[in-house]
């Protein structure tokens, strides 16, 4: 969108297909603190689902920022980071949060009572356990 200098979106559809949007400006940098956005974005996704809405989470390449937000959402739904990441790779193969975001997700998981940072999650597509269905 930036490449084409688009800064506004007009949806032409009936009320039944109205789209609610939320924008969060986040650079895809290892040293950017995504933490302040993780819980609010996950809560927004959960609220949209409670309203019966399907949610599209996207970023420029669909690999790092959007994946990090979806992973944070799954963590808050009770998933482990390992299972959430494996599931997301199966659903969207280009998934690859940058290492800074990944470390922040590990800390979020720890705060939520999940895995310990002394057992790091390897970013690989080979996992033994199948994640729960969502």
CATH topology of domain 15-111: 3.90.190
Q: How do the pLDDT tens digits run along the chain, 134 residues long?
A: 567 666 655 555 555 566 788 888 899 999 999 999 998 999 999 998 898 888 888 888 889 999 999 999 999 999 999 999 999 999 999 999 999 999 999 999 999 987 644 444 444 433 334 444 44
Q: Is 35 exposed, middle or buried (0-12, 13-18, 19+ CB in 10 A)?
A: middle
Of the candidates 17, 25, 29, 59, the residue annotated as catalytic is 59
Instruction: Please indicate whether residue 41 is annotated as part of the active site.
Output: no
pLDDT at 30: 93
Q: What are phi and psi of 102, to 5 degrees?
A: -65, -40
């Amino acid at each position: 969108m930036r490449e084409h200098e688009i800064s506004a979106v007009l949806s032409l559809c009936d009320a039944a297909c109205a789209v609610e949007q939320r924008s969060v400006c986040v650079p895809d940098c290892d040293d950017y603190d995504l933490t302040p956005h993780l819980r609010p974005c996950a809560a927004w996704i959960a609220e949209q689902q409670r309203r019966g809405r399907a949610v599209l989470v996207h970023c420029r390449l669909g690999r790092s920022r959007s994946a990090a937000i979806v992973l944070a959402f799954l963590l808050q739904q009770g998933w482990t980071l390992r299972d959430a990441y494996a599931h997301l790779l199966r659903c969207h193969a280009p998934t690859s949060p940058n290492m800074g975001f990944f470390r922040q997700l590990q800390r979020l998981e720890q705060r939520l009572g999940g895995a310990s940072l002394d057992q790091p999650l390897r970013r690989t597509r080979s996992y033994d356990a199948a994640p729960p269905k969502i």
